[in-house]
Copies of this chain bind each other. A is one copy, B any other.
Amino acid sequence: MKKIVIIGGSAAGPKCAAKAKRLNQENEIEMYTNENVISYSACGLPYYIEGIVDDIDKLLIRKPEEFEKQGVKVFLNHHASKIIPDKNTVIINEKEVLYDELIICTGATAFVPDSIKNAQIEGVYTLRRVQDGINIKNKMEQSKSVAIIGAGFIAIELIEAFVKNGIKVHLIESTSRLMRILDCEFSEMIMQHILENSSDLVDMHFNREVDKLHQNEDGHFYKLSTKCGLEIEADFCIIATGVRPNVTLAQEAGVKIGKTGAISVDKTMKTNYNNIWAAGDCVESNCLLTNRPIYMSLGNIANKQGRVAAINATLSPEVHENFDGILGSAITKYFNYKIATSGMTFETAVQIAQRFNLDPISTTITKKDKAGYMPESNPVTIKLVADKKTGRFLGAQCVGTGDVNKTISTMTSALQSKLTVEQFLHMDLPYAPPMSSTIDALLTAGYKLNSQIKEIQI
């Protein structure tokens, strides 16, 4: 029997708690969160705002009562202020809580750049927690226009939500493009698609650094101004400029912080303390392609890490499970247009080529996802990146109204397996006219890339 204390209740925390209890009913599990809800799908919030998810309760995956019933003690609105590793103690709401194993799942916080003046005024939101989603949806329902600062995943998902609700969107981005997680030409395709389909409701401004948010006499946001003097009026404003891991609690206790600014853990999800583990948006991951730390804040990673931390904090080492790392896979959509990536972009591969002794090569094709004569066939644009020296895949990007999810998931499997382009060439992907073209688009891309690697047109 062990007493396992978990700090954090969003995704990794609840996963840890449920798993640790299931693995050994004798374990005493306590889960503390500084929020008033636990176990929610933050990634579902844009779809709640859009109206696809009709009830916020549906995003609350498991209620505190369910955990209590399972034998997990849940403490809402509890603030952990200090970990004292020597005493196996954490100070929560100013009381000492003893633990045998501590799992830190403190998550991340929406990041608001210091350079944006006046960011704390009314009518300005970030989207991270359940209450943020509720507030934004309420606000949207009384509004006609919104300014979104940032151009990543959350921005894309919120543009869809607002456009669906007839809200005029002004997007302001400090860099030159949308979705910098993809290569430049993919950013352009995405922009083009959004503007072609929603130009009446969407304006985009790039290379504009927001200087200040302005309030009216009621103290409410009504416009923003950029450093170059552009002024954009809107009924409310969302800052979607990424997140930062919550590491203060860990850092102050001497838990090692990695280069990315998130908690550093080994493959068992253990920190530099023997009985302190960490999982979810507060930790960095190992990049499976470079074996260097990278930081991504995603619900699926948090759940996997939570599982592994719970197993290893609970069971003996001979049945420990490893979390080897991630590829940087991500997917989203703008209505029926899907956007996905796994592994490195070509730009990244070129940047790190010298350091990692790579000779990056890439190819891009566009092809229908099903037999061309099937009425529901739709295009996918695929970019594959490989290392010419070893023939190994480095990454894949895919966009389009076709089956992007199948394409990128199949490539994820190939990347995870460290396949070479040649090994991949004639992969026996299943074929039927309503499901694929005779030569799957992914294989067509593979053929082209193989020709480039072999430097002969085959």
Could you tell me which A residues sit within 8 Å of B by CB distance? 11, 23, 41, 43-44, 47, 52-53, 58-59, 153, 288, 298-304, 307-308, 311, 315, 319, 321, 323-333, 338, 340-342, 371, 373-375, 403, 405-406, 408-414, 416-417, 419, 423-436, 438-440, 443, 447, 454, 456-458
Contact = CB atoms under 8 A, between A and B. Distances in A.
B43 A342 contact: no
Contact of A406 (B288, B315, B406, B457): B406
Contacts of A374: 44, 47, 52-53
Contacts of A341: 430
Contacts of A315: 458
Given A403-B405, A430-B412, A458-B321, A300 B435 contact: no
Contact of A405 (B53, B321, B328, B406): B406
A163 B292 CA distance: 56
A433 B41 contact: yes
A428 to B, nearest CB: 4
24 contacts: A23-B458, A43-B371, A47-B373, A47-B433, A52-B375, A53-B374, A59-B373, A288-B428, A301-B428, A303-B438, A307-B439, A307-B447, A323-B426, A327-B428, A329-B428, A330-B430, A331-B430, A331-B431, A331-B432, A333-B434, A403-B406, A405-B406, A408-B430, A413-B419
Given A429-B300, A439-B304, A409 B410 contact: yes
A423 B430 contact: no
A432 B53 contact: no
Instruction: Count chain B CB atoms within 10 A of each CB in A43, A408, A431 and give the residue with the most.
Output: A431
Contacts of A438: 11, 41, 43, 299-300, 302-303
A159 to B, nearest CB: 15
A284 to B, nearest CB: 14
A161 B8 CA distance: 53
Contacts of A417: 413-414, 417, 419, 423
Contacts of A406: 403, 405-406, 409-410
6 residue pairs, one from A and one from B, having the closest CB atoms: A417-B417, A413-B413, A300-B431, A331-B430, A58-B373, A329-B430
A180 to B, nearest CB: 17
Contacts of A425: 321
Given A303-B439, A433-B43, A427 B413 contact: yes
A58 B373 CA distance: 6
A113 B55 CA distance: 58
Nearest to A302: B438
A367 to B, nearest CB: 14
A333 B299 CA distance: 32
A428 B298 CA distance: 11
Contacts of A41: 371, 373, 433, 438
A393 to B, nearest CB: 11
A311 B408 contact: no
Contacts of A431: 43, 298-300, 329-331
Given A44-B373, A416-B423, A429 B52 contact: no
Given A41-B371, A53-B373, A458-B321, A416 B428 contact: yes
B340 A430 contact: yes
A3 to B, nearest CB: 21
Contact of A319 (B338, B375, B408, B454): B454
Given A23-B458, A43-B432, A327-B428, 4 more contacts: A298-B431, A302-B438, A307-B439, A417-B419
A29 B433 CA distance: 29
A302 B426 CA distance: 11
Contacts of A326: 428
Nearest to A418: B417
